[in-house]
């Protein structure tokens, strides 16, 4: 099983009527040492990595996309051309990562992430979705060793 296969197991996860809350969302937040009510894309990504690496992920359980990107940058894992399983980041004009997910397909470019919308345009949506990634959305890709 690879990282995308694991992430896809969670495509049924949706928030409750309260943003960033719900039984399964809160389980993801707790798994990754976050707080209930947090934006949870980073917590989802690090939980999936924790499962893939059976507790020995090269990226620790973190609750912020920028914190994950910082680890990747420090370790020289930033890449130009994505491959399936790479992390992708939505980066704003100030070079701050505000969303993270996994590349699930390269042609066309698709990703899967938590705390997004079905169309992938939201970095604070209501569930785990697999969606298109356009050039206007992302800033960097990383390939953890």
pLDDT computed for residue 134 by the predictor: 72
Whether residue 80 is predicted with pLDDT greater than 90 in this model: the reply is no
State how far the alpha carbon of 63 is from the alpha carbons of 35, 44, 84, 106, 135, in Å: 9, 9, 23, 26, 25
Contact status, residue 95 vs residue 139, Cβ threshold 8 Å = yes
Whether residue 144 is predicted with pLDDT greater than 80 in this model: the reply is no
pLDDT bracket for residue 121 (50, 70, 90): confident
- Statement: the pTM of the whole predicted model exceeds 0.85: yes
State the average pLDDT for the chain: 90
Whether residue 137 is predicted with pLDDT greater than 80 in this model: the reply is no
Can you list the domains of the chain with their CATH numbers? 3-142 (3.90.1720.10)
pLDDT computed for residue 116 by the predictor: 94
Whether residue 142 is predicted with pLDDT greater than 90 in this model: the reply is no
pLDDT computed for residue 66 by the predictor: 95
| Over residues 106-117, mean pLDDT | 94
What is the distance between the terminal CA atoms of the chain, rounded to a whole angstrom?
A: 17
> What is the C-alpha separation between 141 and 103, in angstroms, rounded?
9
pLDDT computed for residue 120 by the predictor: 84
pLDDT computed for residue 138 by the predictor: 54
| Over residues 118-144, mean pLDDT | 79
């Amino acid at each position: 099983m690879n990282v995308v296969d694991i992430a896809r197991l969670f495509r049924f996860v949706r928030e409750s009527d309260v943003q960033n809350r719900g039984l399964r969302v809160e389980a993801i937040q707790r798994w990754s040492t976050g707080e209930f009510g947090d934006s949870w894309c980073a917590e989802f990504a690090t939980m999936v990595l924790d499962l893939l690496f059976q507790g020995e992920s090269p990226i620790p359980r973190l609750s912020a996309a920028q914190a994950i990107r910082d680890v990747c940058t420090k370790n020289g894992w930033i890449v130009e051309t994505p491959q399936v399983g790479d992390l992708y980041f939505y980066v704003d004009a100030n070079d701050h990562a505000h969303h993270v997910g996994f590349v699930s397909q390269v042609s066309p470019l698709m990703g899967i992430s938590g705390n997004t919308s079905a169309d992938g345009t939201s970095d604070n949506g209501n569930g785990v979705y697999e969606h298109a990634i356009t050039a206007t959305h992302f800033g960097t890709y990383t390939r953890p060793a």
